[in-house]
Structure 1
Amino acid sequence: MIRTLFFEDYEVGTARETFGRTVTEADIVLHAGQTGDFYPHHMDAEWCRQQDFGQRIAHGTLIFSVAVGMTASEVNPEAFSYGYDRLRFVKPVFIGDTIRVRATIHEKKDHPKRPEYGIVSERCEVFNQRGETVLACEHLLMVRKKTVH
């Protein structure tokens, strides 16, 4: 869906939530193959039984990638991703866990070098099916202004 929003249209405190998505063993295997991250924490069920979590865990980068994709349901032609800050893997995600994402606009500021743009920061929180935060980060958007002051 295309939805045009300018910097002035974003309101601090506005939030959106995604539907859930269940993380599968196939997700983990494909991510390992794409990234080359075959650490036993993700791939070796027997080894993991002897570790603190007792089972394989999804790659943090997998959960981050899936979460980013889950929030990308709208295309805004006046904005683009400027990057991510303060990325934290808070709790492990296991095979069979279902995650959802809440993205909340929490800050707006002028771009320091490009007056025709502003920076919108949305706090992204990823939750498991028990409502526990498993990942948190800030997504920075560079957004065109309607008017330049």
Structure 2
Amino acid sequence: MTKPFYYEDYTIGAKRTTLGRTITETDIVLHAGQTGDFYPHHMDQEWCKTQPFKQRMAHGTLIFSVGVGMTAGDINPEAMSYGYDKLRFIHPVFIGDTLHVNVTIQEKRAHPKRPQQGIVVEHVEMVNQEEQVVLACDHLLLVNKTPVSEEK
């Protein structure tokens, strides 16, 4: 576990990048089984050959969940996910694509009902091996403010 990171410790414009992860056929099959989404875009190789992309593509929800997992490497006991805004699937992801995630601290704002906490907005972009953005969203973190007893 890393050092606690309070609301005041976040800097707008700060960036981090994850390591890569390659999407496999197994990922797609498991996700289809977990969600019940067996649409031919994901599961029917022959049908996909008749479509514009000519191959199966990963579920958007699969890519989103993989990206969330890729960004969750450091545990901050002073923060928790408050949700996601503006989620977009920008470019399809295919079997064999390798993705990484770029995260930028975009905004900090007071919580309207919790004065001891603030909201930190991380802009998240998943990028493939060709540097194409495949997914973008804003991740809202609910972050504790520095307790008065610990202020510098």
User: Would you call these one fold, judging by a TM-score over 0.5?
Assistant: yes
Residue in 1 that maps onto 2:17: 17
- Alpha-carbon distance in structure 2 between the residues aligned to 1:66 and 1:3: 25
Q: Matched residues, percent identical?
A: 66
Residue in 2 that maps onto 1:93: 93
Residue in 2 that maps onto 1:27: 27
2:134 is equivalent to residue 144 of structure 1: no
2:69 is equivalent to residue 69 of structure 1: yes
Give, in angstroms, the shift of residue 2 of structure 1: 2.6
Amino acid across the alignment from 1:81: S
- Alpha-carbon distance in structure 1 between the residues aligned to 2:116 and 2:67: 29
- Alpha-carbon distance in structure 1 between the residues aligned to 2:110 and 2:9: 14
**Contact in 2 for aligned 1:3/1:74 (Cα 8 Å):** no
How large is the RMSD of aligned CA atoms in angstroms?
A: 0.9
Q: What are the ranges of 5 or more consecutive residues in structure 1 without an aligned counterpart?
A: none
Amino acid across the alignment from 2:125: E
- Alpha-carbon distance in structure 2 between the residues aligned to 1:146 and 1:75: 17
Amino acid across the alignment from 1:11: T
Residue in 2 that maps onto 1:120: 120
- TM-score, length-normalised on structure 1? 0.97
Amino acid across the alignment from 2:71: T
Aligned length: 148
- Alpha-carbon distance in structure 1 between the residues aligned to 2:75 and 2:116: 20
